[in-house]
Amino acid sequence: MKRLSLLTAVAVAVSLVSLSLPAAAQTTKSKADPAKGKEIVGTVCVACHSMDGNSEISANPKLAGQHAEYLLKQMREFKSVDGATPIRVNAIMNGMIAAYDDAQMRDIAAYLSAQRLKPETATNRETVELGQRLYRAGDASKGLPACIGCHGPTGTGMPAQFPRIGGQFADYIAAQLHNFRTGAEATEPSDEARTNDPEKMMRMVAAKMSDKEIAAVADYIAGLR
């Protein structure tokens, strides 16, 4: 009986170790290294997004303080897998991210997410009321949901799915809303549709917005803190 109990105990212990190994291996595999990410940013990303992720060009988004999960999602979707068309098509970013594997993308995301955002400001007093209303309440008359529902009162967003947008360039926010509305990642004929929004959510939102509304809400978002 004692021998049977001992064998049973050993079997249970072996099973527990076996079950724990994959999780431990996964944890090690997914652990990001911000220092390595900094090296890559300083070599490649710096040209468009600056060393600390605070781009000085409004066409290029500020990446400082962005959720690491969201950054990783976007980089994965910019990357071509086995020669297939990337989920998110952008001639510049598709080329830039091509050389990096998933671990390196995790490192980049970890570094940039740890940087402090230097926020922009709202500049158009004439549209601030409209921008605020759309952001906080949407427009029920045409089924336009409020931005606050996914991006929060101050634009902090939600990791992975909904990016931090508060303090972002108004020009960049407006450009992306236009891109979601038209399905184009950029204005060049060679560019393809941007369709990487979960459940077509942003395409649905942008389709209900006029140019004036896009400009107003983008400017309001730039001033969120």
- What is the structure's pLDDT at 176? 93
Measured between alpha carbons, how far is 128 from 124 in angstroms, rounded to an integer? 6
CATH architecture, range 34-113: Orthogonal Bundle (1.10)
Q: What is the mean pLDDT of the chain?
A: 87
Question: What does residue 42 show for φ and ψ, rounded to 5 degrees?
Answer: -70, -20
Quickly list H helices, 114-195: 128-137, 148-151, 170-182
Same fold, 34-113 and 128-222: yes
Confidence band of 12 (pLDDT split at 50, 70, 90): very low
Measured between alpha carbons, how far is 222 from 21 in angstroms, rounded to an integer? 46
- What is the structure's pLDDT at 193? 65
Contacts of 49 (CB under 8 A, 6+ apart): 41, 55, 60, 61, 62, 63, 112
Question: What does residue 101 show for φ and ψ, rounded to 5 degrees?
Answer: -90, 180
User: At CB < 8 A and 24+ separation, what contacts does 39-47 make?
Assistant: 40/100, 40/104, 40/107, 40/108, 40/111, 41/108, 41/111, 41/112, 44/96, 45/96, 45/108, 45/112
Residue holding tokens 């600056």?
A: 50
DSSP lists the bridge partners of residue 144 as 139
Give how far Cα 136 sits from Cα of 90, 155, 158, 170, Å.
Answer: 31, 11, 16, 17
Q: Per-residue pLDDT for 23 more than 50?
A: no
Measured between alpha carbons, how far is 14 from 138 in angstroms, rounded to an integer? 57
- Note whether 110 and 38 are within 8 A (CB): no
Confidence band of 31 (pLDDT split at 50, 70, 90): very high
| b/e sequence 58-69, b meaning 16+ C-beta within 10 Å | bebbbbbbbbbb
Longest dimension (CA), the chain: 85
Boundaries of every domain in the chain? 34-113, 128-222
Tens of pLDDT, residues 43-68: 999 999 999 999 999 999 999 999 99
Tens of pLDDT, residues 161-213: 899 999 999 999 999 999 999 875 544 444 456 789 989 999 999 999 999 99
The pTM score is: 0.84
Give how far Cα 81 sits from Cα of 78, 97, 196, Å.
Answer: 10, 11, 15
Give the residue among 28, 22, 93 at the shortest CA–CA distance from 61: 93
Measured between alpha carbons, how far is 221 from 173 in angstroms, rounded to an integer? 8
Fold of the 128-222 domain:
Cytochrome Bc1 Complex; Chain D, domain 2 (1.10.760)
- What is the structure's pLDDT at 192? 52
